[in-house]
Amino acid sequence: MNIAIVILNWNGKTLLEQFLPSVIAHSKGAMVYVADNASTDDSVAFVESGFPSVKIIKNAENGGYAKGYNDALKHVEADVFCLLNSDVEVTPNWLNPIIETFKTHPSTAIIQPKLLDFKKKDHFEYAGAAGGFIDKFGYPYCRGRIFNTIEKDQGQFDDVTEIFWASGACLFVKRNVFFELGGFDEHFFAHMEEIDLCWRAKNVGYSVKYVGASTVYHVGGATLSNSNPKKTFLNFRNSLFALTKNATGPIFIKILARLILDGIAGVKFLVELKPRHVLSILKAHLHFYNSYNRLLKQRKLIKNKNSYYHKTSIVFDYFIKGNRHYNKP
C-alpha cells in the first residue's frame, strides 16, 4: 500500500519552512506533494529549491480547501491520499499504524490520527482531537474537545475506534473511495467539507476510523482563527449544508430547530459584544436559504442515509447539563 502526502498551500512559505522538514524526515516510503493554490508569495520557489524530492502541483486558482484538493488529487497516483495541513508537525512512525489499520480493516475508507495541539502538546487540538461526531442538529464535536473545552491527553483515547468524521487537518482516504464519492463538495469552499465527505462515505457503507497510535501536532487557525467572523460564517453555513444533504428523517423539522439554536448562538455573541459574529450567522443563514433547492436536489441523490448521531443535542448536554467532556454513548 503506497501513500501520497498532499499538503495544500496558499501563501504559506513560513509554515512550509517550519513543518515540511518533519514530514519528509518521518515519511519514508511515501511520496510528498505540495499542492499550491495560486500563491502570490515565493513558497513554490522555496520548495523547488530547498526540497527537490517534493513534487509540486500548481492549481490555477485559490479554490479553497475543497476545490484545491479536488483539482490537485487528479494528478496524484497512490492507494491512499493523506491530506495534510501545512501547519502540522508529524512524528516518527506516524504512518505505520495507519497503513496497518487499512490492511486489517478492509471496509475502512478514511482514517484520522490523534491530533494534539502544537502549542500545548499534552492537550488535544480543537480541529479534530481524537475523532469527530455530530449531534442530531448537525453540530460537530470530538472525543477530547467539545465546543471550546479541550481535554488533556492522558492516554484515554489511545485506541482504534469507529468515528463519524475525521479532521481535514490530517485525513487519510483511499483514492478509489475519494473519487467514487466525487471528492469534496466545492460549495463548502473551506471548513466542514471533510464532515460532508465522511458522511457520504458512511451513507454508502464505508467505515471511518481513528487510530490513536499515530500522533501529529496541529497549530490550528493558521488560515482562519476561531475569532475570525469569516470562520463563523463558514462553520454555520457549511454545517447547515451537510445536515440538509445527508441527515436521516424529515429534514424540515431538523432545520427549523437548528435555525432556532443558531439564533440563540447569535444572542450569545451579542451579549459577548461580538456583533460581527452575529452578522456572520445571519449571512450564513441567507446563503443557506439561497442554496436550499440545490441542497434538496443533492439530498435526493443520497439513497441510504446513515443513522448519524450519538447525542440528541450536544448544545443541551454542554450548556444545560454541564457535560464538558466526551462521554461514550
Tens of pLDDT along 75-89? 999 999 999 999 999
Of 218, 240, 267, which one is at a domain's C-terminal end?
A: 218
214 with 174, same domain?
A: yes
165 and 199 Cβ atoms separated by less than 8 Å: yes
Structure confidence at residue 311 (pLDDT): 83
212 with 239, same domain?
A: no
Instruction: Identify the domain containing residue 190 by its residue range.
Output: 3-218
68 and 186 Cβ atoms separated by less than 8 Å: no
Structure confidence at residue 223 (pLDDT): 59
What are the cell numbers at 170? Answer: 490530517
Per-residue pLDDT for 147 more than 70? yes
291 with 167, same domain?
A: no
Structure confidence at residue 329 (pLDDT): 67
Structure confidence at residue 115 (pLDDT): 98
Residue 121: CATH number of its domain: 3.90.550.10
235 with 173, same domain?
A: no
At residue 225 the predicted structure's pLDDT band, cuts being 50, 70 and 90, is low
45/221: higher pLDDT: 45
In a domain? residue 329: no
Of 218, 248, 277, which one is at a domain's C-terminal end?
A: 218
What are the cell numbers at 114? Answer: 490523534
Structure confidence at residue 17 (pLDDT): 97
290 with 314, same domain?
A: yes
31 with 131, same domain?
A: yes
Structure confidence at residue 249 (pLDDT): 85
Of 85, 302, 301, 296, which is closest to residue 199 (Cα–Cα)? 302
Element (H, E) at 146: strand 145-146
The single-letter code of the amino acid at 26 is H
Mean of the per-residue pLDDT values for the chain? 94
Residues 304-328, mean pLDDT to the nearest whole number: 86
Per-residue pLDDT for 328 more than 70? yes
The count of domains in the chain is 2
Structure confidence at residue 88 (pLDDT): 97
209 with 234, same domain?
A: no
124 and 117 Cβ atoms separated by less than 8 Å: yes
Per-residue pLDDT for 304 more than 80? no
Cβ atoms within 10 Å of 247's Cβ, excluding its own:
24
At residue 224 the predicted structure's pLDDT band, cuts being 50, 70 and 90, is low
